Structure 1
Amino acid sequence: MSKVVVIGGGPAGCFAAYYAAQNGNDVILIEKNEKLGKKLYITGKGRCNVTNASDMDELLSNVMGNNKFLYSAFNDFSNKDVMEFFENRKTHLKIERGNRVFPKSDHSSDIISCLKRALDDEGVEIMFNSNVKELIYDHLTVEEKAEKIDPNSKYKKKKEKKKLDKIVKGVVLSDGSKILADKVVVATGGFSYQTTGSTGDGYKFAENVGHKIIEVSPALVPFNIKEEWVKSLQGLSLKNVSLRIMSPKNKKLYEDFGEMLFTHFGVSGPMILSASSNIKPRDFENELHLFIDLKPALDEATLDKRILREFESGINKQFKNVLGHLFPTKLIPIIVNLSTIDADKQVNDISRVERLDFVKLIKNLPMTIVSKRSFNEAIITKGGVTVKEVDPSTMGSKVCKNLFFCGEVLDLDALTGGYNLQIAWSTGHLAGISC
């Protein structure tokens, strides 16, 4: 029986600890907070979007980078396996729009309680309020080097780009105490929602043994908008609109259709969060142009006819008073102010040129993206431990023997919809069984 230390009590860490213990290991799970799953508790607005029930191709297509790395992990432990894990432990699930999977209770605490019971059942020792300072490692002996390649790995020696010449021996806690171990799993999460304990510790551990870290940036995060009028729309949600983001050189960077939300600082909502993950970090070094098509179902000619009908039905009304059937009340004064038409002008005095300019505004409501919001508002982190130095069939390090990584600490990120949690469950399971 091996002694295994798992660092981090999030979804990936809990699964790694559970499956390592189920395979007969003596497992210690070290969590810096007073309870498990502190970030998991707030996911899905407190409801916990456990996974996504789509097929494998759909799952992988929603992983933004390095999705091929996940083939083994997803095949070994699929979304169906995740659902069975909770259902078999009487934590019942439901499938909602977009194949999103939630607990029937709509309480993320039920998922966390289920994980805690599973860990207790397997005899996992959990150390709360404990912080790992560093990994203990040594250089491989001649005998260890001869055995360094996992005979069960699908990947041959020649594919290893870095020389595996270290071996992990345990961890040092912040109080200076040491815990020796045969295997160590790093499941410390990323750099988002730092108040939950995701402070990038795993990157430091990985770097110290020789791993390369891909630069991290906030992902699935709202945007700061330059225009002051956006603040007056705080709380307004727009559905069935389309979005287009352009570079300063007028290159299309992203487009989408769906839902968005105005906030006191800019914009958020599903489309915006997806955009933040699709656009490359270097593109945010400059201000970007955001255009919203408020009526994507209508081309300009059809929209013009629709506006004409509104004008004709309110022939003696002022421009500002005939738009109630076209836009939410909160948006009307903004649209009027951004147009070239005087708010008090009677609609029968509006020229065709003015009307066509108004059509273009509706199809291209302009905003300026100044920046992404901070890590504290990011759902996930883009970047992390490069997957080129991790064996995808085991989650084992190619740099340091008996060291494993899983979850958000790796350079893996996906769109919203349960895909990121699926990455955590699958990689955590694989790291656990590989111990």
Structure 2
Amino acid sequence: MKKVIVAGAGPAGMMAAITAAENGAEVTLLEKMKRPGRKMMITGKGRCNVTNAADVPEIIRQFKGNGAFLHSAFAAFDNQDVMRFFEDQGVPLKVERGNRVFPVSDHALDCVDAMVHRLHELGVTIETEAAVRDVLLEHGHAAGVRTVTDAIYRADAVILALGGASYPGTGSSGDGYEMARKLGHTVTPILPSLVPLETEEAWPKDVQGLSLRNVRVKLLVDGEERQNLFGEMMFTHFGVTGPIILSLSREAAEALYEEHFVELELDLKPALTPEKLDARILRDFEKYQRKEVKNALVDLLPQRLIPIVIDAAYLDPEKPIHQVTAEERGRLRDALKHLVLTVTRTRPIAEAIVTAGGISVKEIDPKTMESKLVPGLYFAGELVDVDAFTGGYNLQAAFSMGVAAGSYSVWND
């Protein structure tokens, strides 16, 4: 019976261990935390967005670079397989807006417990509070691992699924990157992804907690548009967050890392052309012609945002509406369509939902997840330089890579 060690009991590691055991291996799963699946329990705001119900080509399009690396893994174990797995384990699922798939219970713990139950059912040995320090080699082949307490576990194959560098409190503290480097692997720059953004301007603090549902945000890098998304965002004491901001954040993080100038341009009225917005402003000004500017925008904007937009338009908030010139009205229209924030940094990687960067996919066989440098060594999950937007795509990648690594760790000689 082939012996397989899996380091890391996150979604990728647990799925790898399950698959290896289903293929007849004697599997030991080592986890540094007190229980498996800690990070999985907080995904999807504690509801666990296990996958996305879109077709596979659409899922691959959601990966920022390196999505093509996943073609083989998805062909072997796709989103329908993920859904079937959880439902077979007694976790009914539902599909929500954006094709996001959640457990009907809305409890991530149900998904984690189902995976742990399957591990026990297959006889996988789970050792918690067992942090792996090194991969052991014999004649250049992976032959086991050593833990931080110097315990040695021998194996025919080793799967590293130690997670990225985000949410270190769940066990993902970037340990796997250093192990991979020691073995000769290239690790691309580690950056936060799906993370809030900090701004130079202080005014977001004045409107913190304010959520805007139907806005368009452009990401500008050195003045050129890189991304353009429509949806929901929220202001915070440090800057901005929310679904579209998180989706823009990876590109922003890369640009900041490369020391480019990064801005966000907010269109607060994306449904209106400049001409229609001008007509709308004129109607409101007619309605509130006896009021001052600061009191004439209540139909256009949330109350707390009014002074921000007035300031951006360089208008006198006390000016009577009937005295506002066409040129001043044009500045107001432009401020509503082009409200600019300067991005100074992302929030720390510890607050990121996903880690961008990781072990270079050029050094991993995309079908088997085996290292091209070290026979018998496999990788799965966030440790690999593959990441996507929010929507269940990252967990899907973790499960698919886990299945590939778990299968071929047993099948390969």
CA shift digits 1:141-197 (9 cap, x unpaired): xxxxxxxxxxxxxxxxxxxxxxxxx20110111111211111100000111111111
Q: Which of 332, 351, 355 does residue 358 from structure 1 map onto?
A: 332
How far did residue 280 of structure 1 move?
6.2
1:255 correspondence with 2:228: yes
SS in 2 for 1:289: strand
Moved more, 381-390 or 330-339: 330-339
Instruction: Find the counterpart in structure 2 of residue 31 from structure 1.
Output: 31
| Amino acid across the alignment from 1:40 | M
1:208 aligns with 2:208: no
Counterpart secondary structure, 1:255: strand
Look up the SS of the partner of 1:366 in the other structure.
strand
Q: Tell me which residue corresponds to 1:100.
A: 100
- Asked whether 1:238 is paired with 2:212, we answer yes
Partner residue in 1 for 2:244: 271
1:429 match: 403
User: Of residues 377, 384, 391 in structure 1, which corresponds to 2:351?
Assistant: 377
Instruction: Say yes or no: does 1:337 pair with 2:303.
Output: no
Indicate if the aligned counterparts of 1:315 and 1:347 stay in contact, CA closer than 8 A. yes
The one-letter amino acid paired with 2:167 is Y
Structure 1 residue corresponding to 2:296, chosen from 322, 332, 336 = 322
Aligned residue type for 1:223:
L
Structure 1: any 5+ residue segments left out of the alignment? 140-165
Q: Give the CA RMSD over aligned residues.
A: 1.1
Q: Matched residues in 1 for 2:109 and 2:68: separation?
A: 32
- State the alpha-carbon separation in 1 of the partners of residues 19 and 221 from structure 2: 46
Please give the TM-score of this superposition, normalised by the length of structure 2. Answer: 0.97
TM score, norm. by length of structure 1: 0.92
Show the 5 A alignment for 1:92-171: 92-139=92-139, 166-171=140-145
Separation of aligned partners in 2, 1:18 and 1:26: 11
Distance across 2 between alignment mates of 1:409 and 1:106: 27
* Structure 1 residue identity aligned to 2:191: S
- 8 Å CA contact 2:50, 2:395 repeated in 1: yes
One-letter amino acid of the counterpart of residue 316, structure 1: R
> 2:260 and 2:242 mapped to 1: Cα distance?
22
Mapped partners of 1:364, 1:83: distance in 2: 42
SS of alignment partner, residue 381 of structure 1:
strand
Is the Cα–Cα contact under 8 Å of residues 158 and 378 in structure 2 kept in the other structure?
yes
Note the residue ranges of structure 2 that are not aligned, 5 or more in a row: none
How far the C-alpha of 1:222 sits from its partner, in A, is 1.0
Query: Structure 2 CA distance, aligned partners of 1:130 and 1:280?
Result: 33
2:362 to 369, 388, 402: 388
**In 2: Cα distance, 1:177 partner to 1:315 partner:** 79
Partner of 2:301, secondary structure, is coil
Task: Give, in angstroms, the shift of residue 377 of structure 1.
Answer: 1.0
Counterpart for residue 17 of structure 2: 17
**Identity across aligned pairs (percent)?**
46
**Which residue pairs with 1:88 in the alignment?**
88
Q: Counterparts of 1:346 and 1:195 in 2: how far apart (Å)?
A: 55
What is the rounded CA distance, in whole Å, between the counterparts of 1:212 and 1:334 in structure 2? 46
Taking the aligned partners of 2:21 and 2:55, their CA distance within structure 1 comes to 29
- Report whether the alignment pairs 1:189 with 2:163: yes
2:387 aligned with 1:399: no
Letter matched to residue 20 of structure 2: A
Deviation at residue 336 of structure 1 after TM alignment: 2.2
Q: Tell me the distance in 2 between the aligned counterparts of 1:31 and 1:115.
A: 14
The SS at the match of 2:36 is: coil
Structure 2: distance between partners of 1:216 and 1:233: 32
Establish whether residue 420 from structure 1 lines up as the match of residue 374 from structure 2: no
Contact residue 259 and residue 269 of structure 1 kept, 8 A:
yes
Number of equivalences: 408
Equivalent residue number for residue 149 of structure 1: none
Q: Does the aligned pair in 1 maintain the 2:220–2:264 contact within 8 Å?
A: yes
Q: How many Å separate the matches in 1 of 2:263 and 2:89?
A: 49
Give the C-alpha shift of residue 212 in structure 1.
1.2
Aligned residue identity for 2:231:
G
Corresponding residue of 2:191: 217
Which range moves more in the overlay, 187-196 or 239-248? 239-248
Measure, in 2, the Cα distance between the counterparts of 1:332 and 1:251: 28
